[in-house]
């Protein structure tokens, strides 16, 4: 028989970890609500015909958020054959609240108490036998992270489904039971018997969604309402609170008889750590230091070493196998450079250029003084043209000498890179020039430029997976809630941002955890400000190509994104459309634990593989389009193809030239930067792909940082825009979000570039005035008193319509 088992439990109880272990799926695992924002299905390993459904984490079957609606609707409408209720053993009392509701659905229930290894480590005791007897259903001890007991839990759920035996339901006080019995008789007597009690309880609570579904007549509801009001008068409380309180009374009785906690005065290891990392004064500095090192190691050190090998070796000329011969070549090329390239005349020219403040001259001079040929070669490739334009041309000396320079492939064991092998193969078969250009410059050059940054991304994802899995990131959400709430925001708005560090799409979808519609829309609009995985190559490109791998560029990009979210949130919350009390933020904090190697690698690969798949589809097609656009154009007054076409005459150049003026106030009004920015809307990785196809055009460091800020903060890629459209469910709100993101990005870049130009002595009076005016407006919005409002204004209602 085909068996459908639903995994249900609180957020962060371990459902998705269990789902991955049971099905072999690679769903993302995190320590906050919203990781599973819609139900996921998979086949149980080694069990034919058994489907496991991973539902979003919920605290109750009285839904307030979109993800809770998804879970409740599935359980009520599609009615799986059994429910495997995952309960966090370290937060047993809180988790059992949902359990009491699941047992009322008339569906067989098996309880899997997760994290039992941590429970035992803490010295706590759970009497499984007694708890099972009281609840009337099978209970299995498991550790989803370590994989212990998980198959027994799944097989117990299968057995429960096959028997169809439902769980005996606990009872409420006499007044409540009296009202429920009357409701069953009056309103739901014609429903299947196993569903009647659950619907009767929901009617008693006046659950709007249940009442809307049942469509009870006015006469019947009036009769029911009298019974409900009688119970409320007798118990001196409203109906929903009565049910809630009586559930907790019942749970307290269960805990008293089956749970023994270690001495109350004892602090667990997690509590001791939390006293430091969630300290009112130390929490934010610690978080800043942690994220600084994450980005520093990922983009500037370990990640860069791997990326340099990928760019220069795998997608470059090649590499020395196991480094054999690399040292000999470095000695030979350095000796050659000292004799033939770094002549007194060339050194004097570079020194004069550095004294004149020419961009990149200092890097060249430093490499000469340190006798670092690799650094000199990289700096010359990047800044050689800017020196020539400034009147310090060294190209004749360098390029003439390089024709006779030692060949690296003559030393040690040399492995050619992919472009070299592809070019050799194309030449061997006599490939046409246009096709050779398409393959080498368009496909290999464009896609290779993007894939070259994969190592940095994977290192970053490993660090983020560790921080999320160990439980640290969940604490940061609460730390930020404490700060956000002062400005009318909620820590729930920080959770999508954390998830969005991998990809903006699941980050946007995670906004479903926010029940307040205004806060949810605002979160959707600002989540993509955080650097996602696709933006890491842009950060790395700017950091390495124009800042010489400066340590501060990558971490600053992350904190620019965080600052943009905070600033936007404060400003938007002070407008009529978004005014109102922040949504309450309740979430169980998981105990700290050491993540398993497999889970970290799975999380890293899940994020990284989506990037690689995108490189094989969207980025591949985009690179071909960019190459074609740069090779087709007007030559001698007629339209045609030329692999040597000047960019300004090409189709791409004409388009870029027509709109590049828009970015002139931001400092990057050249054609290539404009094209890169536009293509970034297709996929942010394509910003790097454009420079891989078209080569990098020189910008000043200030202009490059302005370019970086704009591309980090402007409208996201098409996939994320599609997610915004789905979550907003409104074309007007989608366009408003895109418009706000682009305007905000433009404003930030304008401030950075124009005010930064003051320090170079080349600032524009008009530009500085406009930038100062924009900055003044932002400061006014930030420090303007916050006025709380619980009522949607007419403008917001009109946009929702």
Find out whether 201 and 243 touch, Cβ atoms under 8 Å: yes
Find out whether 19 and 66 touch, Cβ atoms under 8 Å: no
Residues of the chain with pLDDT under 50: 28, 31-34, 789-801
701-713 and 731-757 helices, crossing angle to 10°:
160
Q: Write out the H or E segment, with its range, that includes residue 240.
A: helix 239-258
Which distant-in-sequence residues (6+ apart) come within 8 Å of 291 by Cβ? 555, 558, 559
- Calculate ∠ Cα 719-555-746, nearest 5°: 55
Contacts for 340-344 with beta carbons within 8 Å, 24 or more apart?
Answer: 340/401, 340/404, 340/405, 341/376, 341/397, 341/398, 341/401, 341/402, 342/368, 342/376, 343/397
Pairwise CA distance, residues 502 & 509, whole Å: 13
pLDDT in tens, 40-50: 888 998 888 89
Positive or negative, the Cα torsion across 88, 89, 90, 94? positive
Pairwise CA distance, residues 522 & 71, whole Å: 24
Positive or negative, the Cα torsion across 202, 208, 212, 215? positive
The string of DSSP codes covering 305-352 is HHHHHIIIIITTSEEEGGGTTHHHHHHHHHHHHHHHTS-HHHHHHHHH
128-135 and 239-258 helices, crossing angle to 10°:
150
476: tokens are 């940061």
The string of DSSP codes covering 244-293 is HHHHHHHHHHHHHHHEE-S-TTPPPHHHHHHHHHT-TTTHHHHHHHHHHH
Assign 214 to helix, strand or coil: helix
pTM for the complete prediction? 0.70
Architecture of 174-260 per CATH? Orthogonal Bundle (1.10)
Rg (C-alpha) for the chain, rounded Å, is: 31
pLDDT in tens, 461-482: 888 888 888 888 878 877 877 7
Burial 174-200 (b: 16+ CB within 10 A, else e): ebbeebbebbbebbbeeeeeebbbbbb
Cα distances (Å, whole numbers) of residue 322 to 303, 313, 415, 443: 19, 12, 10, 28
Of 680, 655, 341, 403, give the one whose Cα is nearest residue 528. 680
Find out whether 499 and 304 touch, Cβ atoms under 8 Å: no
pLDDT in tens, 363-377: 899 999 999 998 898
Structure confidence at residue 169 (pLDDT): 74
DSSP class of residue 650 equals B
Domain ranges of the chain: 3-163, 174-260, 320-416, 457-632+643-800
| Count of CA atoms in the C-beta half-sphere (13 A) of 134 | 18
Burial 460-471 (b: 16+ CB within 10 A, else e): bbbbbbbbbbbb
Pairwise CA distance, residues 71 & 791, whole Å: 29
Assign 25 to helix, strand or coil: coil
The CATH topology of domain 3-163 is Rossmann fold (3.40.50)
Q: Tokens 């020539």: give the residue.
A: 388
Structure confidence at residue 160 (pLDDT): 93
Structure confidence at residue 736 (pLDDT): 95
Pairwise CA distance, residues 60 & 71, whole Å: 10
Q: Tokens 């439990």: give the residue.
A: 9
97: tokens are 């609240």
Find out whether 359 and 701 touch, Cβ atoms under 8 Å: yes
Q: How many residues are listed for the chain in this entry? A: 801
């Amino acid at each position: 028989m085909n068996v459908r088992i639903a995994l249900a439990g609180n957020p962060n109880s371990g459902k998705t970890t269990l789902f991955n272990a049971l099905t072999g799926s690679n769903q993302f695992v995190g320590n906050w609500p919203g990781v599973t924002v819609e139900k996921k299905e998979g086949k149980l390993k080694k069990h034919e015909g058994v489907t496991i459904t991973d539902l979003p984490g919920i605290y109750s079957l009285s839904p307030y958020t979109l993800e809770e609606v998804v879970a409740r609707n599935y359980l009520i409408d599609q009615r799986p054959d059994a429910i495997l209720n995952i309960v966090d053993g370290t937060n047993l009392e809180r988790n059992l609240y949902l359990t009491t509701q699941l047992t009322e659905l008339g569906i067989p229930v098996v309880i899997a108490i997760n994290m039992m290894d941590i429970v035992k480590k803490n010295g706590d005791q759970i009497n499984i036998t007694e708890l099972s007897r009281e609840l009337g259903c099978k209970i299995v001890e498991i550790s989803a992270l370590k994989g212990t007991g998980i198959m027994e839990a799944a097989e117990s759920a299968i057995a429960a489904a096959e028997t169809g035996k439902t769980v005996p339901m606990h009872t409420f006080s006499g007044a409540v039971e009296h009202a429920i019995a009357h409701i069953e008789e009056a309103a739901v007597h014609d429903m299947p018997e196993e569903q009647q009690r659950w619907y009767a309880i929901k009617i008693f609570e006046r659950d709007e969604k249940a009442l809307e579904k049942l469509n009870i007549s006015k006469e019947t509801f009036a009769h029911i309402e009298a019974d409900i009001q009688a119970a409320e008068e007798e118990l001196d409380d409203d109906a929903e609170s009565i049910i809630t309180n009586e559930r907790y009374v019942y749970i307290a009785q269960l805990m008293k008889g089956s749970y023994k906690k270690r001495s109350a005065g004892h602090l667990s290891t997690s509590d001791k750590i939390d006293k430091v990392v969630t300290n009112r004064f130390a929490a934010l500095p610690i978080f800043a230091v942690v994220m600084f090192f994450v980005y520093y190691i990922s983009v500037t050190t370990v990640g860069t070493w791997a990326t340099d090998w990928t760019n220069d070796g795998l997608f470059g000329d090649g590499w020395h196998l196991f480094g054999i011969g690399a040292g000999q070549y470095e000695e030979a090329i350095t000796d050659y450079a000292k004799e033939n390239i770094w002549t007194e005349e060339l050194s004097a020219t570079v020194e004069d250029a550095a004294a004149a403040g020419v961009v990149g001259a200092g890097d060249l001079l430093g490499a000469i003084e340190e006798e670092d040929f690799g650094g000199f070669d990289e700096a010359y490739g990047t800044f050689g043209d800017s020196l020539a334009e400034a009147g310090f041309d060294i190209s004749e000396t360098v390029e003439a000498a390089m024709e006779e320079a030692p060949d690296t492939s003559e030393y040690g064991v040399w492995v050619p890179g992919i472009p070299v092998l592809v070019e050799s193969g194309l030449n061997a078969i006599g490939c046409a020039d246009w096709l050779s250009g398409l393959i080498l410059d368009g496909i290999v050059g464009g896609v290779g430029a993007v894939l070259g940054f994969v190592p940095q991304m994977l290192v970053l994802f490993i660090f983020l997976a560790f921080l999320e899995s160990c439980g640290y990131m969940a604490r940061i959400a609460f730390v930020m809630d404490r700060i956000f709430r002062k400005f009318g925001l909620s820590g729930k708005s920080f959770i999508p941002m954390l998830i969005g560090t991998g990809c903006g799409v699941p980050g946007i979808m995670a906004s479903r955890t926010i029940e307040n519609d205004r806060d949810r829309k605002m979160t959707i609009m600002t989540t993509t400000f955080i650097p996602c995985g696709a933006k890491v190559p842009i950060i790395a490109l700017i950091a390495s190509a124009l800042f010489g791998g400066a340590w501060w560029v990558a971490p600053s990009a992350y904190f620019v994104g965080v600052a943009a979210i905070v600033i936007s949130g404060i400003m938007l919350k002070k407008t009529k459309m978004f005014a109102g009390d922040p949504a309450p933020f309740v979430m169980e904090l998981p105990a700290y634990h050491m993540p398993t190697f497999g889970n970290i690698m799975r999380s890293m690969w899940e994020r990284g593989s989506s990037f690689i798949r995108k490189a094989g589809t969207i980025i591949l097609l985009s690179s071909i389009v960019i190459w074609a656009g740069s090779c087709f154009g007007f030559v001698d007054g007629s339209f045609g193809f030329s692999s040597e076409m000047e960019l300004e005459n090409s189709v791409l150049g004409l388009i870029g030239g027509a709109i590049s003026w828009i970015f002139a106030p931001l400092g990057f009004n050249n054609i290539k930067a404009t094209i890169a920015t536009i293509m970034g809307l297709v996929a942010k990785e394509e910003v790097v792909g454009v420079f891989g196809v078209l080569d990098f055009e020189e910008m000043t460091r200030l202009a490059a940082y302005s370019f970086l800020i704009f591309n980090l903060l402007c409208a996201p890629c098409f996939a994320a825009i599609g997610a915004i459209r789905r979550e907003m469910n409104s074309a007007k709100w989608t366009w408003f979000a895109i418009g706000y993101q682009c305007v905000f990005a433009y404003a930030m870049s304008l401030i950075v570039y124009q005010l930064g130009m003051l320090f170079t002595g080349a600032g524009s009076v008009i530009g500085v005035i406009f930038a100062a005016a924009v900055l003044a407006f932002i400061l006014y919005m930030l420090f303007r008193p916050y006025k709380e409002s619980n009522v949607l204004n007419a403008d917001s209602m009109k946009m929702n319509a």
